[in-house]
Structure 1
């Protein structure tokens, strides 16, 4: 029999099984909802419990609340991921068969007799569950095995055990066939005990001694297991053949050319109901001449759906529950082949089903000219070149892993050699474009764990798209013992206190937008006489003293104090690539950017056209001397030239001409940009001032700097065009009488500036991006070395609907959302009815759209 050669001999008392307390007791690093597990036990192995201890517990059951009751997963694999079904299937070794009997109200004698008929004289333990009552008895059964059962064989063996018990009138909960399903141990919670002596209102157990169960070639359980496997293989094969036949039939059904074409009649004439029932996961009864079927949606599991000539009739509740077909005079449900198709393929939307089937058998005639969308874009066949792109060089997952590891190690070596060579050349940049799901992040952490990062002479900073992803990646790195630190911005919450990392978080945000130094403006400033002026909360933020009960509890400045002096691996969000220095004072030796980041450096802004001609030069204060006066005169003369050029550029834009004026040089435009960008970066208001004073001063500087910054960027764009020999630029667009959305200001002529902010390039960089594009990469890093890795597809993609669901249309249209939910529901039903077993349906959608789905259903 399959799997017998892989079984492992159990040494009595030498091993125990995974145990924990309460459904939420998880040691996983990342919980099932995607959130990092911050409990102290995260990453630690689970405790073990031996068979003898389980028997002792049955004699004296636990007294824990239900949400903290002890359970066992009867596998010897107890690592932190031991509560994952796939992991237990791959790595688990199981020493018990278990059963959960919640229906039937069997007595313990009847239950022992029924189980004995399947197991013979093997040892077994029977005990009542915590929810059992004298008039509604519920049981759990445990059977120790003579040899451990491999995880891959556990579920089919459990299914065979359940099937044999069901044949004897004992129905088991099929959930216990799952590899990591908790089996709750003997327990009677406090509310199920008498107030006085604490004795259970109801509890029974029986431990029958005997030999441990041997699953040999003649074992009824193994014989049944192989029968079930053969039946499943046969059903899968039949389903596949039926689907292929139905697909061929549909391709042939293209003769609906008559003017009186009826899609429903056409469908019923060309599709057999029995074939459709089999296709949608119904199970045929071998009695009653095979005309009765059991629905995958039936809770009674009865063969209640009968095929009668050209229609079907259902006498149970499942068709009523799902509103399939029509109600008959006898209050049953009946329908035709098309009713089944509409429900299972189109979420019971008959209108959509009619449209889809009519489109399938009567494809529309091609128009004489290319169709357009409402916006005028060409669409349909011929709108773009039909020449297929060159097929990628696909690699297997194993080869992808090896290639990724090698390229990452090569990139780390190049970075280290650049540092060791004295940093005499441009820092190396390596970009790796690997298919989604190929394990880029895991390979990166693995490579860093093997590399001597001290050769980089500075920290390795890994940038993730968000703080949450950075935190999750840091948790994985900490489990690998290679890093742990996550930089949190001033506005982020301190995980220790739940308060913002900075007591002036909003002011810090405004300060950064104004182009001012946050540290010198809000935190700490050294004056000309050497005095130090600090924020009122500086001592708390830096860890010099503890906060009092009524004081804020910032921690931004002290977050780097736990790091060692030597190079460390740290994690930050993408936002820090734009902000530059974090204030840590630590040297960066290598940047690793995970996922796409270039769009964060795209800039677009609107500048009133007349602001290009502003002077922006103030006279010096009186009594400052001749040098200051001379400098003012020089700047005033340069400002006059800049104002004149600004007026000429504005006139050219209004006339529809190029703003790259021929009589100005690259240097002229560059000088204008430098003349604009000379506002101070530090306020005269000190960090110890009141927040209101600082806010007013920051607002004034921000307004002035915003105009100055955009004017300077205009001149830089023109200087760059001159440097590249261009006579025009698309980065400046004239918009006459433009008004910002929701603005109360009158319309005015503006210029729309578009530019690419500089990417940090002072140290070596590794880019990990599944969508890396050579053209964009060349704009940001002209010296980048790019590697491309394409993993062979391992997922079959099937289109189930031919319609467009945009976020806006879904948010605005309740009917459209209902149609979309219907499509999802039909896929869930189809998945549940799959002969190979349900695999789940993943829905990928915008959060706001998903929230609307739940609001429509009354759940939120």
Structure 2
């Protein structure tokens, strides 16, 4: 039976003393479900579902390189779903296999929140764990169950059953706590549906990287020609050097959806559909088409910070955007200074 690093609270670390972590296993976790801890969150027990228990076990990079993960994990904090709905959504993906579900420490009757642990006999390599987890979350989202994509990170703590004293009555009984352990046997491997979605996501991401690089090169070539004509950086080049894409996106209605993913303000579903890589976004939702940036050959949309500025601040009026930013950034003075530098007169 695999053993996993066990710790208590966010500050409990062995990084500096070189010792291995204490451990737990699935049998112990099941027992905890029946008898949840009664401590505040800063002391709450947590684990990482990897068999790497060394002093760097809480490091995302160490677990990515050395970790072998024996469970898929979900964390559901939104939707106020009941436990049977969560269980049914998971079972549609994994079948009649073991799944451990319990309410989180901040859950209430009116606002239930859940953690789910899906044991797997043959482990997932740390390098593949993020892809597998995100594929699982995508499949759950299609059923209306939205898991926190932060749980795809290899060093992310999984808090174990705990109902703090502040959420218990005068007799020490939880005001709200539920758990379920179901399934006839544990999974041997990652379910086919999850593996297939992970492969599809990876292929899509690689193609998106190619499209982003292609669009970035086209932008760079246009900027180069404008720079040659003006004798200094172009207005767009100046803007891109001074503005961060994700900052502008968040200012204008994009919603974070975990890691490098966002929901478009033009999308009705508000699901994760926009991926950002190296200061360029690739959108997979048709809601963005024709509203911002450039449509790719395969029907996606790609845009950078300048495209967001033009679309969201100036209603896609490029001329007005150029004129306003030229005045705002003092472009003429910058261009003059650049020319004087070139002539050695600055």
- For this structure pair, what is the TM-score category when the shorter chain's length is used for normalisation? 0.7 to 0.9
Moved over 6 A (4+): 265-268, 338-342
* Maintained 8 Å contact 1:96/1:143: yes
* Maintained 8 Å contact 2:99/2:182: yes
Correspondence 1:349-368 to 2 at 5 A: 351-352=328-329, 354=331, 358=335, 363-364=339-340, 366-367=342-343
Shift of 1:59: 1.3
Shift of 1:124: 0.2
* Maintained 8 Å contact 1:283/1:293: no
Among candidates 201, 219, 225, match of residue 228 of structure 1:
201
Correspondence 1:537-552 to 2 at 5 A: none
Shift of 1:130: 0.3
Q: Which residue of 2 aligns with 1:248?
A: 221
Q: Which residue of 2 aligns with 1:200?
A: 174
* Maintained 8 Å contact 1:94/1:150: yes
* Maintained 8 Å contact 2:292/2:316: no
CA distance in 2, matches of 1:152, 1:310: 33
CA distance in 2, matches of 1:61, 1:222: 33
CA distance in 2, matches of 1:160, 1:138: 21
Shift of 1:211: 2.4
CA gap 1:191/1:363 in 2 versus in 1, 3 angstroms = same
CA distance in 2, matches of 1:194, 1:104: 26
* Maintained 8 Å contact 2:292/2:308: no
Q: Which has the higher contact order (CA 8 A, sep 6+)?
A: 2
Shift of 1:291: 2.3
Is residue 2:165 matched to residue 1:174? no
Shift of 1:281: 3.3
Q: Deviations over 1:729-748 (max 9, x none)?
A: xxxxxxxxxxxxxxxxxxxx
Q: Deviations over 1:210-250 (max 9, x none)?
A: 2222336x700000001111111111111111111211121
Is residue 2:21 matched to residue 1:21? no
Query: TM-score when scaled to structure 1?
Result: 0.32
Q: Deviations over 1:451-505 (max 9, x none)?
A: xxxxxxxxxxxxxxxxxxxxxxxxxxxxxxxxxxxxxxxxxxxxxxxxxxxxxxx
Q: Deviations over 1:412-453 (max 9, x none)?
A: xxxxxxxxxxxxxxxxxxxxxxxxxxxxxxxxxxxxxxxxxx
Q: Deviations over 1:11-45 (max 9, x none)?
A: xx2x211111111001111xxxxxxxxxxxx2211
Query: TM-score when scaled to structure 2?
Result: 0.75
CA distance in 2, matches of 1:232, 1:265: 27
Structure 2 unaligned segments of length 5 or more: list them: 240-248, 250-275, 294-300
CA distance in 2, matches of 1:184, 1:58: 12
Partner secondary structure for residue 218 of structure 2: helix
* Maintained 8 Å contact 1:282/1:293: no
CA distance in 1, matches of 2:333, 2:117: 52
Is residue 2:148 matched to residue 1:161? no
Computed over aligned residues only, the root mean square deviation of the Cα atoms, in angstroms, reads 3.7
Is residue 2:290 matched to residue 1:291? yes
Partner secondary structure for residue 186 of structure 1: coil
Among candidates 100, 103, 114, match of residue 78 of structure 2:
103
Among candidates 12, 27, 36, match of residue 61 of structure 1:
36
Is residue 2:19 matched to residue 1:44? yes
Q: Deviations over 1:803-829 (max 9, x none)?
A: xxxxxxxxxxxxxxxxxxxxxxxxxxx
Q: Which residue of 2 aligns with 1:210?
A: 184
CA distance in 2, matches of 1:185, 1:207: 14
Is residue 2:69 matched to residue 1:94? yes
Shift of 1:354: 3.0
Correspondence 1:443-462 to 2 at 5 A: none
Structure number with larger C-alpha Rg = 1
CA gap 1:293/1:145 in 2 versus in 1, 3 angstroms = farther
* Maintained 8 Å contact 2:52/2:66: yes
Partner secondary structure for residue 171 of structure 1: coil
Q: How many residues align?
A: 298
CA distance in 2, matches of 1:162, 1:90: 22
